[in-house]
Amino acid sequence: MDFIVPELPYKKDALAPVMSAETLEFHYEKHHKGYMGKLKAALEGKPEAEKSLEDIVKSSTGGVFNNAAQIWNHTFWWNSLTPNGGGAPAAGPLADLVAKYGGWDKLRADLVAKGGAQFGSGWVWLVLSGSELKVVTTANAETPLTGTDKALLTIDVWEHAYYIDHRNARPAFLEAVCDKLLNWEFAAKNLAG
C-alpha cells in the first residue's frame, strides 16, 4: 500500500486568523495522518491494500470505510480552502450556477445554516446534483464520493476543525470560512472534471 497523506497546499499559518497554525498542527498532523495510520494497519496484508483510496471508500464498511473516507474527505477539505479566498466565485460556469441557486448570499446562508445544524460531527458540502448546485450535509465519515452527486467544496464541521480558534461557535467558523477561505478555483476544477 502506497497511500500517503498529501502535503498541505499552503503553510500551516496561511489560513490565520480563521484557522491558526495550532489548529492545522492538530487537525492535519494528528487527525488526518492518524486516519492513515489506522487504515494502513487495518489493510496490512489484505487484497484491499492494492485498491485505490477512492475504491476502498466506495466498497468498504466499518472501520476501514471510516478511516479511508476521512482521509479522502480531509484531503478534499484542505483543497477546498485557500488563503485570501472566500466570497462569491468569479465569473464563469460556477458563478452562473451560484446565480441560478439564488446568488452568493443565499448559498452562503445555506452553507452556514446547514453546517451549523449538522448534529454532532460531519461535513457540509457544495455538490453538483444533476445540473444544479445543492448544499448537503453528511455525518461522521460519510461522503458524496459514495453517491451520484459531484463534490465541489466541503467544510469540516467536526469540533477539531474549529474548537481551538472558535470554541463552540460553529456558525462563526462557517461564516469566516465562507467569507475568507473558500477555494473557488478548486471548485471550478471539480465542476469541469
The predicted-structure confidence for 74-132, as pLDDT tens digits, reads as follows 999 999 999 999 999 998 999 999 999 999 999 999 999 999 999 999 999 999 999 99
In this model, does residue 133 exceed pLDDT 80? Answer: yes
In this model, does residue 3 exceed pLDDT 90? Answer: no
- The verdict on 176 and 99 lying in the same domain is yes
Tell me the mean pLDDT in the region 163-188: 97
- The verdict on 72 and 99 lying in the same domain is no
- The verdict on 188 and 114 lying in the same domain is yes
What whole-number percentage of the chain has pLDDT above 90?
98
What whole-number percentage of the chain has pLDDT above 70?
99
- The verdict on 98 and 171 lying in the same domain is yes
Sign of CA dihedral 49, 55, 61, 67: positive
Q: Are 152 and 183 in contact (CB under 8 A)?
A: no
* Residue among 155, 14, 144, 3 at smallest CA distance from 74: 155
Domain that holds residue 138: 93-192
pTM value? 0.97
- The verdict on 31 and 122 lying in the same domain is no
Residue 138, domain CATH = 3.55.40.20
* DSSP labels, 102-156: T-HHHHHHHHHHHHHH--SSEEEEEEEETTEEEEEEEETT--GGGSSSEEEEEEE
What is the reported pLDDT for 1? 65
Residue 3 lies in a domain: no
Pick the last residue of a domain from 29, 54, 79: 79
Residue 60 lies in a domain: yes
- The verdict on 103 and 69 lying in the same domain is no
Pick the last residue of a domain from 36, 52, 79: 79
Pick the last residue of a domain from 11, 46, 79: 79
The predicted-structure confidence for 12-49, as pLDDT tens digits, reads as follows 999 999 999 999 999 999 999 999 999 999 999 999 99
Residue 71 lies in a domain: yes
Residue 10 lies in a domain: no
Residue 119 lies in a domain: yes
- The verdict on 27 and 104 lying in the same domain is no
What is the reported pLDDT for 2? 75
User: What's the maximum distance between 2 C-alpha atoms anywhere in the chain?
Assistant: 50
Residue 74, domain CATH = 1.10.287.990
d(CA 65, CA 5): 16
- The verdict on 62 and 116 lying in the same domain is no
Q: What is the mean pLDDT of the chain?
A: 97
